[in-house]
Amino acid sequence: MAQIRVVILWHQHQPFYKDLVTGQYRLPWTRLHALKDYYGMVKLLDEFPQVHQTFNLVPSLIRQIEDYVAGEARDPFLEVASRPAKDLTQDERRFALQYLFQANPANVIGRYPRYRELFDKFRNAGAIPERAEKYFLPQDYTDLQVYSQIGWFDEYFLREEDIAELIAKGRNFSLEDQRLVIGRERELLGRVLPAHSAAARNGLIEISTSPFYHPILPLVCDTQMGGVSSPGLPLPRNRYRHPEDAREQLVRGLDLHEEVFALRPQGVWPSEGSVSEEVLGIAHKLGVKWMATDEGVLGRSLGTFLGRDGSGFLSSDLAHRLYTIYRYENAGTEMNLLFRDHTLSDLIGFVYSGMPAQDAANNLIHKIKDSAQPIVRNGQDAVVSIILDGENAWEYYPQSGREFLRRFYEALQREPGMEAVTVSEAIARHKNKARLNSLLPGSWISANFNVWIGAPEDNKAWDYLWEARNYYAHNAAGATDAQRKLAWEEILIAEGSDWNWWYGPEHHSANDRDFDELYRKHLSNVYQALGGIPPDYLAQPITAGFVRPEFTPQSAYIHPRITGDMVRYFEWMGAARHTADKRSGSMHGKQFLLDGVYAGIDEKYVYGRLDFAGSVPENSFELVVNVESWANHATSARRELRVDAAIEDRRIRSWKVTQADAGELANSVIPNSEIKVALGRNFEFRLPLTWLLAAPLDLDRVRGPKSSEVLTTHLRLRFSMWKSRLPMDALPLEGWMDLELLKEEDLFASGQ
């Protein structure tokens, strides 16, 4: 009987938050995710001995966990959470309000009524620490300090008697309660790595690695790879080419895993799934047996687009290409390669959190079976690779997604013809490997490196790294061993992918400034360690002196849930984005209320999102979105729609959708299931394309007599904010935001 081998790889990663000079951790996420996710994710497999999986632990994550377990981590977030409330300074109180609410409002904060009560008090004061501080009493701070830690405890840890008793108490925690929680953390963190070792020894999991500080290896080898994967992409002024650094990052990762787990990894999940032929060659020489990346890289390497039908499935031919293991052989390099199913992986990451656990598990099992059916029907085995972050998704699931995972794993164990295996098990059992003789460089995002290079901020960061690396090369020989070692470590840290993740137009968070400052601190430490003076430019924010591109076109279909509450980067990844330019306005002193807008389409809908500059304004106002559909060479719009939303007390009082010259199509009193409008931390909407007389076009069917004459239809949007019938702000300030109505494969091709 043909088998469906399900390969699940959980990628466990956090940036390196530690400043090696001060010893201080700039952000707390390694500690918090280690408390919340890493232990339980692997411990859960004790209940399902037939479900084998692969866990990829980034080496720099391991080092940070070890630092906490040893009690050597200086974490200001933990220090503020540990201090008696009566002893907090004003700055510490404001720090607590700024950072101890940074958690999912529904599934972390909302799980505990007292935590939610404190969160609402903070939001009602404008979510501004300086304004909210006066409303918080010492007992409020103590309860916040306790819940800001318990909220991140693993489901297994919450069952332990002393923690369960605290949760049952609910509020009015004492100093002893606070000390109990803080005191338990180090012990609980100490269980994480041993749990992985035990599971590996018992054959439940395979442990793979990544390059030590999570660099984009193809770009460390040669930044010119950014232009190879995206021809015409603007590149840094200085070419960064250090394959020897890439090799060391890999060697260190392999060595650390052997030291910690007493097993040398057979495989590597390269940072962000980033691969190139040069990287494969380095890994092969180090004894690496397998690597993995995204289906987009496979498609580009094969010269085909792995497009899916309306139900999300590949054709029979494309399914045969994806659901197998490839044997790459070229110029003496050999490597087993797996390519992740992007759609199935994203269902876990972004969709199933909004469904009942059993329904989600059933749906995933059926999706896997139906996806692999063309191969199995021919009597061949199929390998379906599901690869995603092992921590970030679970904030969006009730109880960290454990109920969903249990139902899914139960079904995997009992489903005939389906087995969950590690990557190495899949390689050993899969006999009909496909051959691959060339590989185009790319990552798991759009099969290119555009997130990490190409934007002005990205390129500036690479140039600063080049300067520091060059300074090291010319000055390391005259330094002491200790100085040289520290400076070299800072270079390797600065090569990590996480800094450029936040530079450029793609991603934004409440911690942008922290990441920017820490990156520049790592580079400054290189100069200081070698007895030099850091360049003046490292004192200036990379983001402040350089304007982000005002407009980024849509590069992929999007399918966001319209909630307005918690922005999830990946749901809007691929959307067109227009950013408010607050630095180059001709009039000094203009009040910017809107920060940025996003828009995108899929097969059926147009989606829009508006981000405020800060929190949602307190006063009443109106939001207006104008949406028009156009055809090339037309003199007027085909259809004009307008979305009006009246806002009071940061809530939508009413909304309506109207068509020019035709009146209302839907409103908040009599809504239409096709329409969604929401306001939370941002404003979001969804409209059906049919209301705009629009649909994605097939370029091959509408191409004119000359190849350049493409009669595409497009949409344009404009967002504005009004008060008392006067305009307060708008994006774009001039003109419109344009969307091309293309099929996804054509949109993908245009982004290449």
Tell me: the pLDDT tens digits for 174-228? 999 999 999 999 999 999 999 999 999 999 999 999 999 999 999 999 999 999 9
Q: Where are the alpha helices (DSSP H) in 70-101?
A: 76-82, 90-99
The predicted pLDDT at position 740 comes to 83
Q: How confident is the model at residue 697 (pLDDT cuts 50, 70, 90)?
A: low
Q: For residues 445 and 556, what is the distance between their CA atoms, to the nearest angstrom?
A: 10
> Quick check: is 445 in a domain?
no
**586 conformational bin, left if phi > 0, alpha if psi -120 to 50, beta if neither:** alpha
One domain, residues 40 and 140: yes
What are 465's two structure tokens?
């790294």
Cis peptide leading into 688, omega within 30 of 0? no
Which pTM does this prediction carry?
A: 0.79
One domain, residues 503 and 616: no
One domain, residues 514 and 610: no
CA nearest 658: which of 674, 640, 675, 673? 640
One domain, residues 532 and 558: no
> Quick check: is 198 in a domain?
no
One domain, residues 594 and 518: no
CA nearest 250: which of 207, 293, 212? 212
What are 591's two structure tokens?
């009040």
Domain final position from 193, 212, 237:
193
> Quick check: is 384 in a domain?
no
- Provide the residue range defining the domain that includes 518: 456-539
Is the Cβ–Cβ distance between 337 and 325 less than 8 Å? Answer: yes
Element (H, E) at 412: helix 402-414
One domain, residues 657 and 521: no
**59 conformational bin, left if phi > 0, alpha if psi -120 to 50, beta if neither:** alpha
Q: For residues 42 and 58, what is the distance between their CA atoms, to the nearest angstrom?
A: 15
CA nearest 301: which of 413, 435, 430? 435
**Buried-state track 586-624, b at ≥16 Cβ within 10 A, e below 16:** eeeeeeebbbbbbbbbbeebbbbbbbbeeebbeeebbbe
Mean pLDDT score, 105-128: 92
Decide which of 390 and 48 is more confident: 48
CATH number of the domain that residue 614 is part of: 2.60.40
The predicted pLDDT at position 585 comes to 32
One domain, residues 525 and 573: no
250-267: pLDDT as tens digits: 999 999 999 999 999 999
CATH number of the domain that residue 532 is part of: 1.20.1430.10
Long-range contacts (CB closer than 8 Å, 24 or more residues apart) made by 727-736: 728/591, 728/593, 728/621, 729/591, 729/592, 729/593, 729/594, 730/594, 731/578, 731/580, 731/594, 731/596, 731/597, 731/610, 732/550, 732/551, 732/578, 736/628
Domain final position from 510, 539, 568:
539
Is the Cβ–Cβ distance between 393 and 351 less than 8 Å? Answer: no
The predicted pLDDT at position 568 comes to 67
542-556, 589-603, 660-674, 708-722: the lowest-pLDDT one? 542-556
Q: Where are the alpha helices (DSSP H) in 174-269?
A: 175-189, 192-201, 217-221, 225-229, 243-261
Answer whether residue 384 shows pLDDT above 90: yes
> Quick check: is 561 in a domain?
yes
Is the Cβ–Cβ distance between 11 and 390 less than 8 Å? Answer: yes
Is the Cβ–Cβ distance between 657 and 664 less than 8 Å? Answer: yes
Q: For residues 79 and 74, what is the distance between their CA atoms, to the nearest angstrom?
A: 8
One domain, residues 571 and 677: yes
Q: How confident is the model at residue 727 (pLDDT cuts 50, 70, 90)?
A: low
Which residues sit opposite 647 in a β-bridge? 621, 652
One domain, residues 565 and 713: yes
> Quick check: is 206 in a domain?
no
How many domains, the chain? 3
Q: For residues 155 and 51, what is the distance between their CA atoms, to the nearest angstrom?
A: 20
One domain, residues 510 and 560: no
Task: List C-alpha distances in Å: 660 to 161, 657, 665, 725.
Answer: 63, 10, 10, 19
Q: For residues 97 and 90, what is the distance between their CA atoms, to the nearest angstrom?
A: 11
Phi then psi for residue 577, to 5 deg, are -135, 135
One domain, residues 500 and 580: no
The predicted pLDDT at position 582 comes to 52
Q: For residues 390 and 55, what is the distance between their CA atoms, to the nearest angstrom?
A: 8
What are 110's two structure tokens?
């909302």
Helix (H, G, I), strand (E, B) or coil at 477: helix
> Quick check: is 152 in a domain?
yes
One domain, residues 518 and 646: no
Domain final position from 193, 214, 249:
193
pLDDT mean across residues, the chain: 90
Residues near 605 by beta carbon (within 8 Å), at least 6 away in sequence: 674, 686, 687, 688, 689
> Quick check: is 675 in a domain?
yes
The predicted pLDDT at position 368 comes to 98
> Quick check: is 693 in a domain?
yes
